[in-house]
Amino acid sequence: MSIPLVEPRDGLPPLCESPDQFHEALARLEAGNGPLAIDTERASGIRYGNRAFLVQIRRAGCGTVLFDAEQHRTELGEILKPLLNSTTWVLHAAVSDLPSLQNFGWFPTRLFDTEVAGRLAGFDRVNLAAMVEKVLGLHLAKGLAQSDWSRRPIPAAWLTYAALDVEVLLELADSMAAILTADGKTAWAEQEFEHIRLQARQPQAESTWQDMKGISVLTRPPQLAVAQALWTTREAIALRKDLSPGRVLRNRVLLDVARTLPTSPVELAKIPGFPKNKGAAYRWFRVVSQALHTPREQWPQPSPQVFDPQSRSWTKHDKAAAAALSDAKNIVAEIASRYHVPESYVLPTAIIKKAVWSTRVAKNITSKEQLQDLLAQQAVRPWQRELVLEPLAAVLL
């Protein structure tokens, strides 16, 4: 039976809210030793962007420190940068936290991701609470992750919740490192951690209206013109009001408006989920109308059907290639089962498709060496290439 983890062992850590307090906290952290356990609390579904509103850091020898990140964001970044940029970090689900931490100018020298460690160890459930319970025998209550962390003052119960997220993260990392060593997967984990660390450093393309999930339901230029105008207007409003775009106009509603092309504010207001606030139908209908009155030559055009590795058409028309794709997926599934790791960790489906396409459709890869080069170009790590190269070459070449 697990033991409830209800409060930090050293009591509720101080909340640092000013540059002077940031300097004091830095001195405490510098007096500690070893890696930094780090977590953030965001308000992604509530506020615009993905910035951290609270940063929790724990280090052996000095305990946990909580940082209110909103009011003195620039100062916080600069004050902690010398320490954070010269230290190993322990994170859980690093891909979620690294972007908001990089906004402060922070970047680890090394990384240990306990979630990734759990996946490589073959755990069925890899959320933090499940792993803490399985590995350490402690029950960690969850439930506030989606709260509005921009709220001020932050309730004491929320601060306790946030502190507990890093309370045993270092111990969890030590235990997971031992498990990976026993499984012979330490090198695999190190390669995965470094891949995540370096990928986070790459410039991220900004999202556009064409990236909306479900945009493919729009097939005509006027629909696309309206979608573009609605998305652009929504982004401007969301940025100005510091709101998540979905709180201004949900994606599903936006796409329904663009798909149906309402001819009046009354018709627009009848779309399920459309905002009921006064005047919304007239304001958004003006956006629709203006988009439809722009010159037609300026309307976006539907994307042509692309015959590439990720399209479905080639597997429908080339039965031999489709069979090879099935064989390749089965190989990856068998390897994943043998080593108790997710199939996507052995080789993502998109890369399997590219390998099959290149060998069986485009036929620009004809040797094992070329196949290995392709995998390397797709950022397939050495441990993955070692597992998949020979069996894939046997069925594809």
Ranges 57-71, 221-235, 272-286, 304-318: which has the least confidence:
304-318
Mean pLDDT of the chain: 95
Q: Tell me the pLDDT tens digit for each residue of 348-369.
A: 999 999 999 999 988 999 999 9
Segments of the chain assigned E as strands: 3-5, 15-16, 33-42, 52-60, 63-68, 88-91, 110-113, 138-140
Please say if the pLDDT value at position 305 is more than 70.
no
Report d(CA 325, CA 357) in Å as an integer. 9
Domains and CATH numbers, the chain: 3-201 (3.30.420.10), 209-298 (1.10.150.80), 312-396 (1.10.150)
Token pair, residue 79, equals 């004050």
- Token pair 């028309």: residue: 317
Determine contact, residues 73/200, Cβ cutoff 8 Å: no
Q: At what angle do helices 368-377 and 382-396 cross, to 10 degrees?
A: 140
Give the amino acid at 171: E
Q: Tell me the pLDDT tens digit for each residue of 51-81.
A: 999 999 999 999 999 999 999 999 999 999 9
Q: Tell me the pLDDT tens digit for each residue of 124-160.
A: 999 999 999 999 999 998 777 778 999 999 999 999 9
Determine contact, residues 204/99, Cβ cutoff 8 Å: yes
At 311 the pLDDT is 64
At 144 the pLDDT is 77
Q: At what angle do helices 319-339 and 382-396 cross, to 10 degrees?
A: 140
Cα dihedral sign for 287, 292, 295, 301?
positive
Nearest to 286 by CA among 257, 270, 271, 264: 264
Q: Tell me the pLDDT tens digit for each residue of 203-220.
A: 888 899 999 999 999 999
Q: Tell me the pLDDT tens digit for each residue of 73-110.
A: 999 999 999 999 999 999 999 999 999 999 999 999 99
Cβ density class 89-124: b for 16+ within 10 Å, e for less = bbbbbbeebbbbbebbebbbeebbbbbbbbbbbebe
Determine contact, residues 284/269, Cβ cutoff 8 Å: no
Confidence band for 317, pLDDT divided at 50, 70 and 90: confident
At 70 the pLDDT is 93
Report d(CA 157, CA 56) in Å as an integer. 15
Report d(CA 383, CA 392) in Å as an integer. 15
Cβ neighbours of residue 44 closer than 8 Å, sequence gap 6 or more: 50, 244
Helices vs. strands in the chain: H and E counts, helices first: 19, 8
Determine contact, residues 16/69, Cβ cutoff 8 Å: no
Please say if the pLDDT value at position 306 is more than 70.
no
At 314 the pLDDT is 74
Nearest to 257 by CA among 240, 243, 274, 245: 274
Prediction pTM value? 0.93
